[in-house]
Amino acid sequence: MSVIHASRSLLIVFLAAPAIAAHSTSFDQVPRLPGRLQAEQYDRGGEGVAYHDADAINQGNGKLNTGDNPLSHFRRDEGVDLSFTKPARERFAGDVFVDGSAVPPGSLYLGWVQPGEWLRYQVYVMRPGRYRIGGQLSAAKPGAKFKLEFAANSASATVAIPPTGSAHRWVISANLTEMELVAGPQEVTLRIGEVNGFNIDWLEFSLVEESVK
């Protein structure tokens, strides 16, 4: 009996080892907050570790963007759906802001989002306190929302995106929500809410009030 128990324990150790080792790492230099978080710079580590996506195809850079723009090669083999802002051309009005002005082309963004998908980001919070969250986003339909979870202080915030009328009509919003953050390395999980069809280019975290310790 003791031999069987021993081999079972070994089996459990072997099965558990890869799950412990699998942890996402920052795409590039760890973004510092206050500062900007680019949606397309989600962690490295792949499906189930750095993100969960509804399918393995990158609907933007892996499918739609067949041109020779070097941006179309950005993470095209990963399941997360990324594209980039484009000027007006034949049968496409181009990416514009809600006031009608053109969005600078070549800005990579997260799109084709679906409920249940998530992405992970390593960040470093420089100063503890209350942060205001803004960003450059678009939402074709009302009710678009996502959730931000900061692991180190178990803080989360639901971010509602004001409807812009089209996925290619963008808004830069300075104040979507506010949340308290502790200082130090943080792992952020961005969870897509129940309404799909919105885009996120970047999120900006600005310090409203520093915590006094």
Provide, rounded to whole angstroms, the least separation between the CB of residue 69 and Ca ion.
15
Would you tell me which residues interact with Ca ion (CB under 5 A)? 38, 53, 55, 79, 81, 108, 201-202
Q: In this structure, are strands 169-181 and 82-84 parallel, antiparallel, or unpaired?
A: unpaired
Share of the chain residues as helix, strand and coil, in percent rounded to the nearest 5: 15, 40, 45
Provide, rounded to whole angstroms, the least separation between the CB of residue 106 and Ca ion.
10
Q: Which is nearer to Ca ion, 81 or 204 (CB)?
A: 81
Q: Which is nearer to Ca ion, 108 or 207 (CB)?
A: 108
Q: Which is nearer to Ca ion, 76 or 145 (CB)?
A: 76
Q: Which is nearer to Ca ion, 55 or 178 (CB)?
A: 55
Write the CA distances from 80 to 42, 43, 57, integer angstroms. 9, 11, 7
Provide, rounded to whole angstroms, the least separation between the CB of residue 70 and Ca ion.
15
Provide, rounded to whole angstroms, the least separation between the CB of residue 170 and Ca ion.
11
φ and ψ at residue 172, rounded to 5 degrees: -105, 110
Q: Is the torsion defined by CA of 166, 169, 175, 179 positive or negative?
A: positive
